[in-house]
């Protein structure tokens, strides 16, 4: 299954690139078809196996080949509930990404869709790789096409943004590579053989300063990606400058690889060190929530505003992950999914408005509800999602994270929950500045097209469904969360 | 029958969906059929459910209906489910029944608005969310309704969104209430830690077992919940949003900002009364906040020009009475006043709306006058509502509901002369500002002519509400006068009776006479200063002291100014100076530093051999020195 998806995406990307020479429109169709094929296969897999999936507590599917045996590097991939969920999100947002690019991208379409599909392939790989070398490999695969996506098809300041994105992630990735090597070496010292396998490295459990240092290697890579203040500066530029689908994938998926990494690797590998660092991490999370929200409020570039809301929302992830309890962890996973959907939707919305008005400047907009009430209603719904209105998925996420982190630290949570008020302030500003008040210009713009209505409609269904019946998501990831928490309980004493 | 109570919130929601998706295609005749019909249908089901509930009371005096488990995380499993008891029934009745009347009124009132469908969509959504709030069996679902009504309030205050002032008022309402909501959310987190559930019934049973009376944890829980109640119910210090909320259409003010949503705080406290009873400090806080609010808002009401702002401050003040009652442990008195207040305040807002409509959107009372003859139905119904608000003795419902609170402020165990004095003085102020409004608006010379007279759809709801404002009080009469206790008996399975303290009942009559007389004196004062001799007030207002006092009162006693300087400006200031993100300087600094180094190093590559030779020599010397001396 995993191989099928990744290879279909990669092959689809190559095909889209080569065939674009004959027909420029062919590439987008190929991209869509390959994503739909993956989704159909994935759906089929899920439907036929859903009983096993919900019942099992281990890996649902595992692929294991030796790759470079001299160094203990193997081609080891596996999928559990968390991976499954994240792959589902990847495919879903991937399809929407292609649809969002349908008309926006007119230059070098073949290469564009190649990059898009390869990013998605890299992301699926990241969510499933169980060999640390392989993981690092996929980590890079999603980085480089994204660099091109921003640098070639981005907005006015795209080169700067692309380099910034590349340097931040690459520098932090390097630290992770060092930590991976360090873990491998310790395993060699302990057992006399090389291995970079997740299962093997779980037994390493480095302690003391060494443990802390190795943990920081991983953690920094992940919190740059997440991002956590003060490592967030690549994000506003990258998100603002990227084409719509790029922002969608950055916010919806790439940031989630950071959260995934912390849950999958940092906490199980270094329970003791994580536990030591937890208070500081939670403070960083709370700072991120507030700092991102204050900055979001002051932005006049609509896209930049949405980008900073991501900084704020990902603060909840940081806060929750280091609270080490089930409520918070379920909240974190819900946040990963809901934020992917809601912020993805907001970026799509900004893209639609940009396509129509050719501006992202909030001071130029205003009163657009008169012209485009449908877009307005969608904007209202997702502004509400971003302020955490109950009935939408983000509420479940924030509520669970905060109620979990409250058990870990009342003070930090109380401070973090100021973010709920600040979230209201920036979300309302976003909605009102665009859609309410008087019109500054005589905009004559059209409302949602059918293609756009399908895209937004599916996002709305997803976010409402998560808000009213999140239990399937909770059940799917429960075993994964239990394992992480067990690992924590086994090694760290509270 | 009871298994169908989920339809009560669902049908208005369905109405909302229909209006959102098909509103554009519906004619102006069918839109109210959907919008008004859905609420009417909900009130019909309520009445059936009410009859059923009263004729076969369920075991434990409540009925539960769980639809599905919302989420289940490690045993914490709030459901989407309803809890239906006498308290719920009282609220659901007011919401659907008064809500229905207001919807009927809106069908005519909003008829000429371009966004007719959008208006009813929001109103239906509001009714649905409000019903969720009062029917929820757990606090998370209640929070859903709680935030839902907040959203609808935001949408309806800013209904005429093209005016940026309306949008600002809407925003303010949402943000200020959200401050309270955040406190409430923290309260929920605290309850989760201790009980691992937010099922209200379970918490109320477990709390007295787990927590000692007066324990600090119970106080924390109660105070945090109170935070939410203060925001929604516009009590000091979170009252500032309600006067501005009058930017919305008048039916909205009647439904949301008088009859239902703003009393959600009262519901929250009454529903969780066990938690509050565990904490004497919290109870005292509720009573004091109620007393302070009712006075402050009463003073502010006297100075207003805008008829709707008078009513807004009056609402804040009357909810202050409800809070006072709750703080005294006089639960059913608080709920009784809620119900009667819903009748007469909805009536007053609708009446004011009719006047505003008739005068072509004139809201300034001083440009009205003499409307008694021009709009007789409005006048008489408005007078009935005003009488109830001013608690005219014996003939109005407001007298019976308010008198109860005043009496308990004196005689209950938690009562005190000070609380009574505040409530008493507040009643006096109430009758002054109420009849000031009546005299200025309906008596004297005609200043603006009536453009068009209201039709049936506006008049009928007014008449029904006026009737209720008069006779509604007879279901609960003081024990020295009739002694009818239908309402408190009805609530007694849910809410405990008030604990009486000192002083027996023999002084009650004295107090009633005293209170009744003050109301009349208040009316006389209003007549004397604003009808007979307006020049006295005018002279006072133009004196320098009068001017500053008037300015202070009309602006709501300076709370807005304070919050603006303490929160809004610092926030926007910080936010604006850091617009470009100071942390980014660090990274651009690194980048610039690297570039600078690059430049200076590249400058050394001159191709000049003498430079290179010097470099080598200097390097050699440094290296040798290090080898020798270190």
SS3 of residue B476 by DSSP: strand
* pLDDT confidence of residue B503: 58
Which among A164, A326, A367 has CB closest to B74?
A: A326
> CA-CA distance, B96 to B251, in Å (whole number)?
14
Element holding B66 (H helix, E strand): strand B63-69
Cis peptide before A230 (omega within 30 of 0): yes
Round to whole Å and give the CA distance between B413 and B415: 6
Structure-derived torsion over alpha carbons of residues B111, B115, B121, B124, reported in degrees to the nearest 10 = -40
Residues on chain A touching B574 (C-beta within 8 angstroms): 294
Structural domain includes residue A87: no
Note whether A327 contacts B74, CB cutoff 8 Å: yes
pLDDT value at position B488?
82
Other Cβ atoms closer than 10 A to B250: 26
Calculate how close chain B gets to A409, using CA atoms only, in Å: 11
Residue A99 to residue A249: CA distance in whole angstroms: 13
Tell me whether B192 touches chain A (CB under 8 Å). Answer: yes
Angle between the N-to-C axes of helices B7-22 and B30-55, in degrees from 0 to 180, rounded to the nearest 10: 170
pLDDT for residue B529:
83
* C-alpha distance from B586 to closest chain A C-alpha (Å): 10
Q: Let me know if residue A151 belongs to a domain.
A: no
Closest CA to B385 of B354, B364, B358, B362: B354
Q: Classify residue A453: in a domain, yes or no.
A: yes
Q: Do the Cβ atoms of B192 and A406 come within 8 Å?
A: yes
Q: Which of B73, B572, B583 sits opposite A229 (nearest CB)?
A: B583
Q: Is A304 among the domain residues?
A: yes
**Per-residue CA distances from A465 to A336, A450, B144 (Å):** 15, 22, 15
**Crossing angle, helix A302-321 and helix A234-241, to 10 degrees?**
130
Residues of B in contact with A389 (CB under 8 A): 147-148, 151
User: Nearest-CA neighbor of A347 among A480, A243, A442, A471?
Assistant: A243
Instruction: Report chain A residues whose CB lies below 8 A from the CB of B182.
Output: 417-418, 420-421
Mutation target for B interface from A316, A376, A432: give the one with most B CBs within 10 A.
A432
Exposure class string for B352-362: b at 16+ Cβ within 10 A, else e: bbbbbbbbeeb
* Residue/partner pairs of A54-60 with CB below 8 Å, 24 or more apart: A54/A475, A54/A476, A56/A479, A57/A479, A57/A482, A57/A483, A58/A479, A60/A84
Residue of A nearest to B187 (CA): A403
Contacts of B194 in chain A (CB under 8 A): none
- Using alpha carbons only, give the angle B512, B517, B522 rounded to the nearest 5 degrees: 130
Residue in A367, A407, A417 closest to B193 by CB = A407
The residues of chain A scoring below 50 in pLDDT are: none
ipTM of the complex: 0.93
Best CA proximity match to B74, nearest among A400, A323, A263: A400
Low-confidence ranges of chain B (pLDDT < 50): none
Contact A421 B179 (CB under 8 A): yes
pLDDT at B609: 84
Whether pTM exceeds 0.95: no
Distance separating alpha carbons of residues A298 and A158, to the nearest angstrom: 22
A185 found inside a domain: no
Please state, in angstroms and rounded to a whole number, the distance separating the CA atoms of residues B89 and B330.
19
Look at residue A444 and give its three-state secondary structure.
Answer: coil
B217 Cβ under 8 Å from any chain A Cβ: no
Which of B:39-78 have CB within 8 Å of A? 68-74, 76
Residue A143 forms part of a structural domain: no
Tokens of B622: 């440094």
DSSP state letter for B529: I
* The token pair that represents B511 in the structure block: 């107090």
Tell whether A429 is covered by a domain.
Answer: yes
Q: Which of left, alpha, beta for A367 (phi over 0: left; psi -120 to 50: alpha)?
A: left
Among candidates A113, A82, A117, which has minimal Cα distance to A257?
A: A82
Q: Which residues of A touch B174 (CB under 8 A)?
A: 424, 428
Q: Nearest CB to B151: which of A389, A469, A470?
A: A389
Q: Note the pLDDT of residue A248.
A: 94
Helix, strand, or coil (residue A67): strand
A59-99 residue pLDDT tens: 888 888 888 888 888 899 999 889 999 999 999 999 999 99
pLDDT at B371: 84
Q: Provide the number of structural domains found in chain A.
A: 1
For A402, the domain range is 270-494
Q: What's the half-sphere exposure (Cβ side, CA atoms, 13 Å) at B11?
A: 20
A155: buried, middle or exposed (CB in 10 Å: 19+, 13-18, 0-12)? Answer: middle
Q: Could you read off the pLDDT of B399-417 as tens digits, one per residue?
A: 888 888 988 888 888 888 8
Q: How far is A475 from chain B (nearest CA, A)?
A: 9
Question: What residues of chain A lie within 8 A of the CB of B148, using their CB?
Answer: 389-391
- Say if A425 falls within a structural domain: yes
């Amino acid at each position: 299954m995993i191989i099928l998806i990744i290879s279909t995406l990669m092959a689809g990307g190559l095909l889209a690139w080569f065939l674009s020479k004959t027909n420029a429109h062919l590439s987008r169709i190929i991209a869509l078809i390959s994503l739909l094929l993956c989704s159909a296969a994935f759906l089929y897999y899920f439907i036929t196996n859903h009983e096993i999936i919900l019942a099992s507590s281990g890996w649902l599917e595992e692929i294991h080949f030796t790759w470079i045996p001299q160094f203990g590097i193997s081609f080891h991939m596996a999928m559990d509930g968390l991976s499954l969920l994240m792959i589902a999100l990847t495919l879903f947002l991937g399809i929407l990404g292609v649809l969002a690019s349908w008309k926006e991208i007119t230059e070098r379409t073949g290469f564009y869709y190649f990059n898009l599909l390869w990013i998605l392939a890299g992301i699926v790989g990241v969510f499933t790789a169980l060999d640390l070398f392989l993981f690092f490999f996929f980590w890079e695969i999603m980085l480089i096409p994204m660099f091109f996506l921003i640098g070639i098809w981005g907005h006015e300041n795209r080169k700067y943004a692309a380099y910034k994105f590349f340097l931040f992630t690459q520098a932090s990735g390097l630290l992770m590579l060092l930590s991976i090597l360090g873990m491998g070496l310790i395993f060699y010292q302990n057992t006399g053989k090389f291995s970079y396998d997740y299962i093997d490295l779980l037994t390493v459990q480095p302690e003391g300063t060494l443990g802390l240092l190795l943990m920081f290697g991983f953690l920094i890579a992940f919190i740059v990606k997440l991002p956590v203040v003060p490592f967030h500066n690549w994000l506003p530029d990258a998100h603002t400058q990227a084409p719509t689908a790029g922002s969608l994938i950055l916010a919806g998926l790439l940031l989630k690889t950071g959260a995934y990494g912390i849950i999958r690797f940092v906490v199980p590998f270094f329970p003791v060190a994580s536990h030591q660092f937890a208070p500081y991490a939670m403070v960083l999370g709370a700072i991120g929530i507030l700092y991102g929200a204050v900055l979001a409020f002051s932005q006049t570039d609509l896209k930049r505003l949405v980008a900073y809301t991501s900084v704020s929302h990902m603060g909840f992830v940081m806060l929750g992950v280091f609270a080490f309890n089930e409520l918070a962890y379920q909240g974190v996973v819900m946040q990963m999914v809901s934020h992917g959907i809601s912020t993805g939707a907001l970026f799509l919305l900004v893209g639609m408005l940009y396509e129509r008005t050719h501006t992202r400047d909030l001071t130029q907009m205003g009163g657009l509800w008169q012209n485009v009430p449908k877009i307005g209603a969608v904007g209202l719904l997702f502004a509400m999602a971003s302020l955490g209105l109950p009935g939408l998925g983000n509420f479940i996420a924030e509520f669970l994270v905060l109620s979990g982190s409250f058990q870990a630290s009342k003070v930090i949570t109380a401070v973090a929950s100021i973010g709920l008020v600040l979230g209201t302030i920036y979300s309302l500003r976003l909605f009102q500045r665009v859609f309410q008040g008087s019109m500054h210009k005589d905009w004559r713009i059209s409302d949602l097209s059918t293609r756009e209505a399908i895209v937004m409609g599916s996002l709305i269904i997803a976010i409402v469904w998560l808000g009213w019946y999140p239990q399937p998501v909770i059940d799917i990831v429960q075993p994964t969360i239990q394992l992480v928490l067990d690992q924590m309980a086994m090694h760290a004493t509270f | 029958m009871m298994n169908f109570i989920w339809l009560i919130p669902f049908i208005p929601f369905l109405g909302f969906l229909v209006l959102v998706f098909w509103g554009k295609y519906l004619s102006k005749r069918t839109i109210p059929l959907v919008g008004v019909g859905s609420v009417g249908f909900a009130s019909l089901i309520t009445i059936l459910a009410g009859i059923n509930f009263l004729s076969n009371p369920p075991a434990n005096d409540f009925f539960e209906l769980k639809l599905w488990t919302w989420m289940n995380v490690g045993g914490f499993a709030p459901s989407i489910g309803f809890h239906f008891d006498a308290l719920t029934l009282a609220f659901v009745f007011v919401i659907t029944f008064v809500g229905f009347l207001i919807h009927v009124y809106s069908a005519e009132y909003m008829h000429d608005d371009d966004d007719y469908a959008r208006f009813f969509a929001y109103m239906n959504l509001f009714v649905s969310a409000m019903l969720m709030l009062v029917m929820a069996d757990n606090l998370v679902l209640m929070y859903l309704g709680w935030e839902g009504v907040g959203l609808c309030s935001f949408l309806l205050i800013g209904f005429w969104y093209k005016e940026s002032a309306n949008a600002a008022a809407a925003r303010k309402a949402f943000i200020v209430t959200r401050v309270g909501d955040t406190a409430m959310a923290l309260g929920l987190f605290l309850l989760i830690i201790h009980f691992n559930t937010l099922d209200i019934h379970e918490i109320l049973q477990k709390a007295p077992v787990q927590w000692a009376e007066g324990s600090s944890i119970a106080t924390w829980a109660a105070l945090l919940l109170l935070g939410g109640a203060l925001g929604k119910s516009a009590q000091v210090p979170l009252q500032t949003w309600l006067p501005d909320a009058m930017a919305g259409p008048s039916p909205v003010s009647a439904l949301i900002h008088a009859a239902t949503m703003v009393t959600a705080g009262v519901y929250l406290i009454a529903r969780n009364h066990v938690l509050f009873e565990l904490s004497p400090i919290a109870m005292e806080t509720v009573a004091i906040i109620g007393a302070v609010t009712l006075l402050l808002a009463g003073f502010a009401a006297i100075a207003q020009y805008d008829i709707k702002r008078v009513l807004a401050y009056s609402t804040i003040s009357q909810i202050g009475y409800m809070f006072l009652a709750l703080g005294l442990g006089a639960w059913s008195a608080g709920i009784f006043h809620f119900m009667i207040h819903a009748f007469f305040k909805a009536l007053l807002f609708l009446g004011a709306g009719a006047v505003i409509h008739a005068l072509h959107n004139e809201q300034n009372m001083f440009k009205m006058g003499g409307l008694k003859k021009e709009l007789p139905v409005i006048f008489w119904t408005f007078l009935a509502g005003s009488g109830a608000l001013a608690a005219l003795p014996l003939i109005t419902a407001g007298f019976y509901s308010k008198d109860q609170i005043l009496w308990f402020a004196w005689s209950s165990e938690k009562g005190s002369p000070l609380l009574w004095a505040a409530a008493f003085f507040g009643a006096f102020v109430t009758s002054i500002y109420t009849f000031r409004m009546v005299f200025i608006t309906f008596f004297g010379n005609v200043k603006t002519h009536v453009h068009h007279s209201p039709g049936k759809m506006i008049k009928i709801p007014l008449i029904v509400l006026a009737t209720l404002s008069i006779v509604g009080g007879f279901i609960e009469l003081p024990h020295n006068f009739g002694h009818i206790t239908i309402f408190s008996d009805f609530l007694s399975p849910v809410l405990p009776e008030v604990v009486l303290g000192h002083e027996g009942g023999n002084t009650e009559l004295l107090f009633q006479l005293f209170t009744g007389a003050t109301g009349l004196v208040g009316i006389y004062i209003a007549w004397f200063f604003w009808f007979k001799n307006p020049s006295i007030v005018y002279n006072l207002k133009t004196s320098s002291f009068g001017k500053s006092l008037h300015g202070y009162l009309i602006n709501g006693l300076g709370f807005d100014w304070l919050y603006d300087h303490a929160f809004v400006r610092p926030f926007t200031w910080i936010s604006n100076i850091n617009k470009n993100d100071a942390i980014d300087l660090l990274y651009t600094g690194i980048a610039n530093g690297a570039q600078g180094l690059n430049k200076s190093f590249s400058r050394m590559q001159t191709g000049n051999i003498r430079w290179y030779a010097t470099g080598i020599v200097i390097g050699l010397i440094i290296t040798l020195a290090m080898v020798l001396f270190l």
